[in-house]
């Protein structure tokens, strides 16, 4: 199983970009990198996923290192509603979640 390393917590100011890093040095060649987030008192929600190329959607962008051993989730303009725990998961059979990064957004 690929293991991930994410900072325990990060802070951002509202309206500023946020870069959330994740190291997954043992990822296998065919595993997609998934990002989810969990807002307080809610179930996790899918944010974005990718394999090798950088990906963009309406929620965020995902930058994947060329060697695939790390990735960065980019929120282009953080809002108060983006305050959540963000999980990076190299996909596989089990989709196990790590501790994630708790993002605090300050007004």
Partner 1 sequence: NAGVMQNPRHLVRRRGQEARLRCSPMKGHSHVYWYRQLPEEGLKFMVYLQKENIIDESGMPKERFSAEFPKEGPSILRIQQVVRGDSAAYFCASSPGRDKTPLHFGNGTRLTVT
Minimum gap (Å) between residue 10 Cβ and partner 1: 16
Retrieve residue 29's tokens: 């060649």
- Nearest-5° Cα angle at 5, 74 to 8: 75
- Contact segment (CB under 8 A) with partner 1 among 18-26, 27-35, 61-69, 75-83 equals 27-35
CB burial of residue 49 (10 Å; 0-12, 13-18, 19+)? middle
Minimum gap (Å) between residue 14 Cβ and partner 1: 25
* CA–CA distance, 30 with 41 (Å, rounded to integer): 33
- Contact segment (CB under 8 A) with partner 1 among 16-24, 34-42, 64-72, 75-83 equals 34-42
Residues 37-66 that bind partner 1 (CB under 8 A): 38, 42-46, 49
Tell me the Cα Rg of the chain: 13
**Residue 101 interacting with partner 1 (CB under 8 A):** no
Query: Could you list the residues that contact partner 1 (CB under 8 A)?
Result: 30-32, 34, 36, 38, 42-46, 49, 85, 87, 91-100
């Amino acid at each position: 199983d690929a293991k991930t390393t994410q900072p325990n917590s990060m802070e951002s100011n509202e309206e500023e970009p946020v870069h959330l890093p994740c190291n997954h040095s043992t990822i296998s060649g065919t595993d997609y990198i998934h990002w989810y987030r969990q807002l307080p008192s809610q179930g996790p929600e899918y944010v974005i996923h990718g394999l090798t190329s950088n990906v963009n959607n309406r929620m965020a962008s995902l930058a994947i290192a060329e060697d695939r051993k790390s990735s960065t989730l980019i929120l282009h303009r953080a809002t108060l509603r983006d305050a959540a725990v963000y999980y990076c998961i190299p996909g596989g059979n089990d989709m196990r979640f790590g501790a994630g990064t708790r993002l605090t957004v300050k007004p």
